[in-house]
Amino acid sequence: MSQMLHHGRGRVSILLAVFFLLASACHKSPARLAYDSIDGATTAVQASLKAFNILYQQGIADEADRTKARAAYETFQKVAVAASYVAEAATTPDERAAAIRKTSEAAVAAISTLDDLSAEVKARPPTGGAK
């Protein structure tokens, strides 16, 4: 009987622990949401840039393409860094929402430019490999 009680108690403990982990994952504050959004946008833009880098290192993309990629990335960087300062100093969810929106728009613009650039580069006729 005591073993059964002990077993049941262990189960309750595990359930409580799982509940807590779920609750902690679900109650993201506006600050955490802003942080995760800016972090995710940065990861996505840098992933697009890494994809472009493969084309560049293979000699498929040229220096003019690299200059365009740099411009797209650096524009995003300026917005994301500014948004991180706004989100950190913000005292209301509205201010943080604005920072998230600006970062998202900048990330969409940068990823779109980088993806278009990569597609354009891939569609070009081969020029004979790396320079």
Partner 1 sequence: MTTDPKPRLDAGTILTLIVEVGLPLASDLIDLFYRAGSVSADDWTALRAKTRTPFDDLVPARPGGES
Site for partner 1 in 41-100 (CB under 8 A): 42, 46, 49-50, 52-53, 56-57, 59, 63, 66, 69-70, 73-74, 77, 80-81, 84-85, 87-88, 91-94
Q: Which amino acid is at 127?
A: T
End-to-end, the C-alpha distance of the chain in Å comes to 79
Site for partner 1 in 91-120 (CB under 8 A): 91-94
- Total residues contacting partner 1 by CB under 8 A comes to 48
Tell me how far apart the alpha carbons of residues 38 and 76 are, in angstroms, rounded to a whole number.
11
- State the alpha helices, DSSP H only, in the chain: 2-26, 30-57, 63-89, 93-123
Tell me how far apart the alpha carbons of residues 69 and 116 are, in angstroms, rounded to a whole number.
10
The contact set with partner 1 (CB under 8 A) reads 9, 12-13, 16-17, 20-21, 23-25, 27-32, 34-35, 38-39, 42, 46, 49-50, 52-53, 56-57, 59, 63, 66, 69-70, 73-74, 77, 80-81, 84-85, 87-88, 91-94, 130-131
